[in-house]
A = this chain, B = another copy of it.
Amino acid sequence: MVMTRRSFLEGLAAIGGTSLLMTGMEAFGMDLASAATAPPPLAGGGAGRSVIILGAGVAGLTSAYELGKAGYDVTVIEARGFAGGRSQTARKGFQLTELGGETQTCTFDEGLYINHGPWRIPFHQRSTLHYIKEFGVDVELFNNDNENSYAFFTKGSGPLANRPVRKREIASDARGHAAEILAKTVQSGALDQQFTAADRDLFLAYLKSEGYLEGADHRYGGSESRGWIVKPGAGLVAGEPTKPYAFTDVLHSEAWRVLASVSEWDQQRTMFQPKGGMAMLPAGFVRHVGDKIRYATVVEKIRQNDKGVSVSVVDAKGQRSVVKGDWCICTIPLSVLKMIDHGLSPAHKTAMEGVAYAPVGKIGLQMKQRFWEEKHWIYGGHVYTDDPDIGSISLPSTGWLGQKGVLLGYYNFIGSAAKVSALSPADRAKFAVDFGQKIFPEYAESFESAFSVAWHRVQYNLGGWAVWNEAARARDYPVLLRPDRRIYLAGEHLSHLGGWQAGGIESAWMQIDALHKQASAS
């Protein structure tokens, strides 16, 4: 999806002077797909061996579930009062206190929610879908590309800038005008040296087909697909199609930035979401390993020797204790781990400094009317903007045709996330609502309540996801993949699927396989 990646990368450039600046397109661009499709077979089992798992996010839960199935005695230490890590769903009563911030309590109506962490499961992330299926989590389609949604670009110029424009109009006109120009060039013979006659004729046919070109002169005059002034209906209402925008206006609007020859891999159709929120996925794990989790228990110190690992923890009542096991899987985000007395090797300690964690902000806005459906005929999908403080506004892919809904009011990164997150929750909501009002006239009057998160200010995360620059990926990342004696690190940060649940799951699969091999050999 154009806006996500681009605004992220623009943000990297804009924020200059931090370690984030070193993160490059190479690292982010590749973090896209899922390689492994099933957990490793843990031959021979793990009976008689114990594993301490630090963190009950999807990586920790995956480790606990698979190692537990293989007969290992597992204990999961989780700092929060609930499992799931970042795979959270905010609904009525859900509380969040950011570092240095006031406590937010979600006041959405019953049944409404926002996935303020991960919210999408691409069709190709087989590892995540494996557990969706394993636990019978009901999924529904996430509408990730809505041709009827708006682009709202403020930095362009001309009559199409700074106002909502339908994506279908931009797609039809940009591609149609371009196809006309190219077809006329082909027809003029200017490209005859590049083509055989057969190729040239097929190329013209392709351009005509793709661009809705008409006549022998291959003219783009709009298309019924770009929309209607009067829509066809019953009786004599045959409909009146719209006219195309001038190409120069389309170009100067910059709204063509929403187009791509094919959607980016990690944003391609089809996309899923669990019915009822992303928290339904960790809930599936918890049904199986919930009794192994020690909640509200914070890791203070990690030590190991030739015999095993001991983890000093403190619980919600301030009671300190030491958990002992033969092995350890540590899924604590590196942003947090590096501030713990982890006792890992100097090489691991140094390597951890190579990673950056992305500031990321999201806000859910409860609206008393689904005006985007009723008035604008936009059912799900994203309104793309070129304002990095907003990023995109996303309409919910659930509760179709209902009364109320929760939309995502902004999704910002890096410098924008840092800036917006400095606001109070109430001011974040005001900022989001004021912006949305520019696109939807019904926005402000429909707004009822908000719930926002700034992941870089969330105590046990300190960032949305790990970001590796090219140098650190080559130098530091491989170090962290290797165990430090009896301790294995796992999580999305140790994958090429940064920021995706699949990264956490597949990293866990890799590390439990390695642990099992080491344990079986010892």
Contact = CB atoms under 8 A, between A and B. Distances in A.
Nearest to A142: B141
Contacts of A256: 206, 209-210
A314 interface: no
A305 interface: no
Contacts of A236: 478, 481
Given A181-B182, A237-B496, A261 B223 contact: yes
Contact of A171 (B29, B126, B262, B478): B262
Nearest to A507: B234
Interface stretch (A112-120, A268-276, A354-362, A425-433): A268-276
B496 A234 contact: yes
A217 to B, nearest CB: 15
Interface string A366-389: 000000000001111100000000
A210 B401 contact: no
B35 A202 contact: no
Contact of A494 (B175, B202, B207, B234): B234
Nearest to A130: B401
A148 to B, nearest CB: 6
A207 B235 contact: no
B143 A261 contact: no
A36 B203 contact: no
Contacts of A234: 35-36, 494-497, 503, 506-507, 509-510
Interface in A116-167: 123-124, 126, 129, 132-133, 139-141, 143, 145-148
Contacts of A268: 147-148, 168, 225
A263 interface: yes
Contacts of A503: 234
A233 interface: yes
A2 interface: yes
Contact of A232 (B33, B226, B478): B33
Given A123-B379, A262-B175, A231 B35 contact: yes
A401 B129 contact: yes
Interface in A210-229: 210-212, 223-228
Given A33-B232, A507-B235, A178 B174 contact: no
A440 interface: no
Contacts of A196: 248
A32 B223 CA distance: 12
A263 B147 contact: yes
A259 interface: yes
A252 interface: yes
A88 interface: no
Q: Considering the complex of A and B, which 8 residue pairs feature the smallest CB-CB distances, nearest first?
A: A35-B233, A175-B261, A232-B496, A234-B506, A33-B231, A202-B251, A141-B141, A171-B262
Interface of A: 2, 29-36, 123-124, 126, 129, 132-133, 139-141, 143, 145-148, 168, 171-172, 174-176, 178-179, 181-182, 185, 190-191, 194, 196, 198-199, 202-203, 206-207, 209-212, 223-228, 230-239, 247-248, 251-252, 254, 256-257, 259-265, 268-270, 272, 377-381, 397, 400-401, 478, 481, 494-497, 503, 506-507, 509-510
